[in-house]
Amino acid sequence: MALVQIRDVYKSFHRDTQRIDVFTGLSLDIAEGSFTALMGPSGSGKSTLLNLIAGLDRPTSGTIEVAGSQVQSMTAGQLAAWRARHIGFVFQQLNLLPVLTAYQNVELPLLLTRLAKSQREERVRVALGVVGLDDRIHHYPRQLSGGQEQRVAIARAIVADPTLILLDEPTGQLDAKSSQEVLALLRRLNGEFGKTIVIVTHDAHAAEQAKTVLHLEKGVLIERAAVGA
Amino acid sequence: MRYLPLVLANLGRHKRRTFLTATSVALALFLFASLRTVVTTIAAGAQFGSARRLVVTNATGIVFPLPLAYAGRLRALPGVQAVSWANWFGGRYGDGKRFFATFAVDPASYLDMYPEIRLPPEQREAFLRERTSAIVGKRLLDVFGWRLGQDVTVQGTIFGGDWTFTIRGVYTPSDRVINDDMLIFRHDYFDERLQRGGIVGWYILQIANPDDAAGIAKLVDDQFKNSSAATKTGTEQAFNASFATMWGNVSLLMNTIGMAVVFAILLVTANAMMMSARERTGEVAVLKTIGFSDRRLFGLVMLEAGVITLVGAVLGLGGAKLLYRATNFSGAGFLPGFDVSGATLALGGVIALLLMLASGLVPAVRAARLPVVQALRHVE
C-alpha cells in the first residue's frame, strides 16, 4: 500500500511578474517501507516535491495524501502537529541549532510530545546510539565533524519514530567516508527498522543505496528505476 | 518549563549583546524609578503637615522677615494655643560640598510643637539650657562623623562669619518625610549675635481646632494688615505645598526625561531582539520543519524578550529600591523620605511588561509568520 499518494499536483511560483511552473499534473506513489531516491538536475523540482510531501509547502492544485492525511487541506497549526508526528526531515546543512548540544538537538521533537523528562532522555540516548554517537551526547555542533552533524540530524529525525523520513541532499557537503557512514545508516534504518525513506540527491552513488530511483526533469517524472536492495 | 533551556541557550548565543540589552533595560527602569521617586517625594513633602499648625510668613515673601514682637500678639489671639518661630540660616561646614539645612528656632516652643522630632529628654534639657548648643539629625551626625558634645564651626552664607555650636542632641524623626540631616540651633543666640532687633523668618501657630484654621488665619492677617510687615497665614500643609509648587516644572521635567529614557531603551531592546530573530531565520525553519507551530515559536520569542526584561526589571527596580534604602539617600537633605514606593515598583513592572511586548512582538510575529519554504532558503 502506498504511504504517499500524489495525484495530479500542480505547483507554480511567481518570480516578479514571471510565472514558473514546477509541476504540471504530477502523480506518484511511494510505498510504505520503501527507500526512494529522487534525482534530477537543479531546478527540476526535487526539493519542492520533498517540501510538498512534508507539508512545508502547498500545491497550487491536486492532492497529496501521506499516511492517510490530506496534507494540502490542513491548516498551519494542524500541519505543524502532523509533521511532529509523521515526518523526520534532514537538510543538506545547518540542521542543528548551534547553541544546543547533540542531546538537546535530538530532544527537540520530543519537547512537542507529552513524554516525561526520563522518557525523553531514554529515547534520545537510543536514537544517538542507533547513529553511533552515544559518546558525543554533550558535544556542540561545532565540536562535531560534518558527518557526525548529519548523523545527529538523522537521530533527531528518527527520535520521535516518524512515519516517513525525508532527506534533502544529506551527503551533499560530506567527504566520501562520512557520506558512506550516513548512507550505511540510512540503509540500516530502512532494512533493519523498516523506515520509509525518501532522499533527494545529485550523487549517483547515494542513489544506488535506494531501492527505487526516480528521475525528475523540469517537474516531470521521466524514469523510474528499481535498483533492488 | 521544558522550553526554558532552549530559551536560555538562545539568550546565551550572544552573551555580550544579551548582557548589554538587559543592562539597558535595568538602567532605564532604574532611572525611571529614581526620577519618579523624586516626584513622589516632593509630592509627599507637600502633603506633610499637621492640621493643627499654621504658618505665618511675611506677605511680601518668605525671604522677608517678621518682627519678633508679633509673638505676644499672636499668642493672645483666640484659638491659638502656642506660638513658635524659626529662621532659615543657610550655613555650610568644611568644604561646603555637602549641603544641609540649618535653622534657628525658639527651642522650647519648637520642640513642643514638633513631637515628630524625637530627642532624648536629657539632650532636650541640655539644648534648652545652653545658648550656643545645637541639635542635629542622626544622618548629619554620621555624614560628618560628629559626636555628641563636639564643637562644630559652621560658616554662615546668609549671615556671615563663623558660628560655633556645641552638639547637645541628636534627633531621629518619627516620620520619613521629616529631614534627618538638619542642624537646629537656638534663635536667641542667633538674634543676640546679629543684633538685628528681633526678627524671625516665620511663625508657627498651634491651634486648638483644625476646623478654625481658616478663621484664625484671617484673624492673624487682618491683625497685621496695616503693620510694617503684613502677614500671610496658611496651614502648614499649604506652606509645604508652596515649596512643592516651586518644583512643579522639575516634576514635569523628571517625568518627561523618565519616559524619554524608557522609550529610547525600548528602541534599543527592540532592535536587539529583531537582530537576534533575524539571525536565526534558518533555525526557525528547522524548528518549523520539526513541528514547532507558529504559535509556539511566537511564544518562544516572546519568552526570550520576557526573560531579558524580567532580569532588567529585577535589577533596575530592585536595585533602585535597595540602593536608596541602604544608603538612606535624601538628595542632600532636599528629598527627605526618599524611598521607591510600591506604586512606583508596580508602575515600573507595567512598563517592563509593555517593554517586553513592544520589543518582542515584532520579531515574534515575524518568526511565527515566516513561511517555511522562504525560511528554508536560509538553510539551503
Say yes or no to pLDDT of A161 above 60: yes
Q: Which candidate from B290, B295, B379 shows the least CB-CB separation from A108? A: B290
Q: What's the confidence (pLDDT) of residue B322?
A: 94
Q: What's the confidence (pLDDT) of residue A229?
A: 45
Longest alpha-carbon distance in chain B: 96
% chain A with pLDDT above 90: 55
Say yes or no to pLDDT of A37 above 90: yes
Higher model confidence: residue B91 or residue B153? Answer: B153
Q: What's the confidence (pLDDT) of residue B278?
A: 78
Say yes or no to pLDDT of B379 above 60: no
Q: Domain range holding A137?
A: 2-226
Q: Which residues contact B146 (CB under 8 A, 6 or more apart)?
A: B136, B140, B152, B167
Say yes or no to pLDDT of B45 above 80: no
**CA nearest to A80 within chain B:** B291
**CB distance from A74 to chain B under 8 Å?**
no
Mean pLDDT calculated for residue range B159-188: 88
Task: Label residue A112 by pLDDT band (50, 70, 90).
Answer: very high
Say yes or no to pLDDT of B273 above 80: no
Task: Label residue A119 by pLDDT band (50, 70, 90).
Answer: very high
Say yes or no to pLDDT of A210 above 80: yes
Cα angle, residue B260 at apex, residues B256 and B265 outer, rounded to 5°: 150
* Mean pLDDT over the full length of chain B: 87
Q: Can you tell me the distance from the alpha carbon of B229 to that of B196, in angstroms, rounded to the nearest whole number?
A: 15
Higher model confidence: residue B333 or residue B110? Answer: B110
- Residues in B touching A97 (Cβ below 8 Å): 9, 283, 286-287
Mean pLDDT calculated for residue range A185-205: 89
Q: Where are the beta strands (DSSP E) in chain B?
A: 53-58, 66-67, 80-88, 91-92, 101-105, 117-118, 133-137, 151-156, 162-173, 182-186, 199-200, 202-207, 231-235
Q: Can you tell me the distance from the alpha carbon of A27 to that of A10, in angstroms, rounded to the nearest whole number?
A: 10
* Mean pLDDT over the full length of chain A: 89
Cell numbers given for B94: 568644611
Q: Can you tell me the distance from the alpha carbon of A119 to that of A31, in angstroms, rounded to the nearest whole number?
A: 31
Q: What's the confidence (pLDDT) of residue A225?
A: 65
How many angstroms away from the CA of B28 is the closest CA of chain A? 29
Q: Are strands B182-186 and B101-105 parallel, antiparallel or unpaired?
A: parallel
Say yes or no to pLDDT of B167 above 70: yes
Residues A11 and A22: beta-carbon distance below 8 Å: yes
Q: What's the confidence (pLDDT) of residue B248?
A: 58
% chain B with pLDDT above 90: 44
- The complex's ipTM works out to 0.89
Q: Which candidate from A81, A94, A97 shows the least CB-CB separation from B291? A: A81
What's A213's domain CATH number? 3.40.50.300
Say yes or no to pLDDT of B224 above 80: yes
Can you state the angle between helices A117-130 and A102-111, rounded to 10 degrees? 120
Q: What's the confidence (pLDDT) of residue A227?
A: 59
Q: Which candidate from A47, A80, A85 shows the least CB-CB separation from B293? A: A80
What is the separation of C-alpha A184 from the centre of its chain, rounded to a whole number of angstroms?
Answer: 16
Does A112 sit within 8 Å of B291, measured CB to CB?
Answer: yes
Say yes or no to pLDDT of B33 above 70: yes
How many angstroms away from the CA of B289 is the closest CA of chain A? 7
Task: Label residue A83 by pLDDT band (50, 70, 90).
Answer: very high
Sign of the Cα torsion B306, B312, B315, B318 reads: negative
Cell numbers given for B341: 514606593
Q: What is the DSSP secondary structure assignment for residue A142, as one 8-state letter?
A: G
Mean pLDDT calculated for residue range B81-102: 86
* CA trace torsion B120, B125, B129, B131 (10° rounding): 20
Q: Which residues contact B34 (CB under 8 A, 6 or more apart)?
A: B320, B324, B340
Measured CA to CA in angstroms, residue B129 lies from B83, B107, B114, B200 at distances of 20, 10, 19, 21
* Count of structural domains within chain A: 1
Q: Is B259 exposed, middle or buried (0-12, 13-18, 19+ CB in 10 A)?
A: middle
Say yes or no to pLDDT of B378 above 90: no
Q: What is the DSSP secondary structure assignment for residue B156, as one 8-state letter?
A: E
% chain B with pLDDT above 70: 94
Mean pLDDT calculated for residue range B43-59: 80
